[in-house]
Amino acid sequence: MAEFTMELNDEQKEVRDWLHGFAADVMRPAAAEWDEREETPWPVIQEAAKVGIYSLDFYAQQYFDATGLGIPMAMEELFWGDAGIALSIVGTGLAAVGVLANGTEEQIGTWIPQMYGDPSDVKIAAFCSSEPDAGSDVASMRTRAVYDEAKDEWVINGTKTWATNGGIANVHVVVASVDPELGSRGHASFIVPPGTPGLTQGQKFKKHGIRASHTAEVVLDGVRVPGSCLLGGKEKLDERLARAREKARKGGERVKNAAMATFEASRPAVGAMAVGTARAAYEVALDYARTREQFGRPIIDNQGVAFQLADMRTRIDAARLLVWRASWMAVNGRPFEAAEGSMSKLFASETAKEVTAQAIQILGGNGYTREYPVERMHRDAAIYTIFEGTSEIQRLVISRTISGMPIR
């Protein structure tokens, strides 16, 4: 078990500086263009693939970093560059985490490489969990998967929404109910291979922020996938469902479901994304305050501005520490006894919204225009308190965890 540390080692610093250079030299110059176009920035993803950032090997190295700091460090630097482009680069990772959290070794080895492709033929993946009537309330999921024993196939029907890369992905990971009576305990995750009949893209959303990231509905109409596409396998699913039914009869505590396992593993990473956006806005505001003069002196000499910057920096550093702690705990198998993962996501998300708003205020009228990036950063920051569990849901998880109440 690695000891918790707040100091990156030499190798981590080298990776951080490499990512920072890519974010500064490739992502930032393209940020405004792809935000306006509201399209997936394929050329930037391909550049990331060419240098090794968009690859299974890179994310595996960060994911298995014994200190737990590899992923949050990478997320912070990329989202410092631009949140929309960064989400297009890392969006495949949520589907990959879904497979890592629930799949067999064979499934991991088969499907994750197909999610990324290679630099000459880049692929992407999508994780599909939310539905029009089942966002935070995952127990209300209506997408159904029914097993056709004669053909050893699962038949999936339903509509997913808010899916990053939905409909344009090479591989889709879909969460569906296999036993509606068990609510969220009756869910399972399935791989939908490329070109599977019945999967189509529904509405593509025009969003307030992260507009360079493709977000759409995914419609599943009689989608048939082989039995081998059930993550974890049917034997494991049957055992889990049997335990869930037994606990339901006894009124026992909830059983962790597939979607929740994915979100628990990814929430500190989302917190790191928020830290990156907040840091970017803070740095713009700090530089502006040092160089912008009013009444014959830099506006940072104004205590009102200086104190805002002090609060911004303090919140960013505190958010990073919460993210790093949760990431270290997750990698080293420490239980989240006080919902530390949700704490990190909650605080970092709220920090990003507050810091980007303060950055606009410091820049004044300039901050409200698209001539400066803080306007875009503020729009981008709004998503962190919504996706992968709203701030309200994080507070619910934290409060129920510390009180000993079940999390449904």
Residues annotated as catalytic (active site), given as ranges: 388
DSSP 64-78: T-TTS-HHHHHHHHH
Element (H, E) at 358: helix 340-363
SS3 of 273-336? HHHHHHHHHHHHHHHHHHHCEECCEEHHHCHHHHHHHHHHHHHHHHHHHHHHHHHHHHHCCCCC
DSSP 204-264: EP--SS-TTS-EEEEEEEEEEEEGGGBTT-HHHHHHHHHHHHHHHHHT------HHHHHHH
CA 384 – CA 205 distance, rounded (Å): 17
CA 131 – CA 139 distance, rounded (Å): 11
Query: Counting every residue, how long is the chain?
Result: 408
Cβ distance 340 to 325 under 8 Å?
Answer: yes
**Amino acid identity of 260?**
M
CA 258 – CA 254 distance, rounded (Å): 13
The token pair at 160 is 């997913």
> Any residues with CB less than 8 A from the CB of 187 and at least 6 apart, and which?
138, 141, 175, 176, 177, 178, 257, 258, 259
Cβ distance 48 to 18 under 8 Å?
Answer: no
Crossing angle of helices 70-81 and 83-90, in 10° steps, is: 140
DSSP 26-71: IIHHHHHHHHHHTS--HHHHHHHHHHTSSSHHHHHHHHT-TTS-HH
Element (H, E) at 200: strand 199-204
The token pair at 40 is 């997936």
Chain centroid to Cα 4, Å, comes to 23
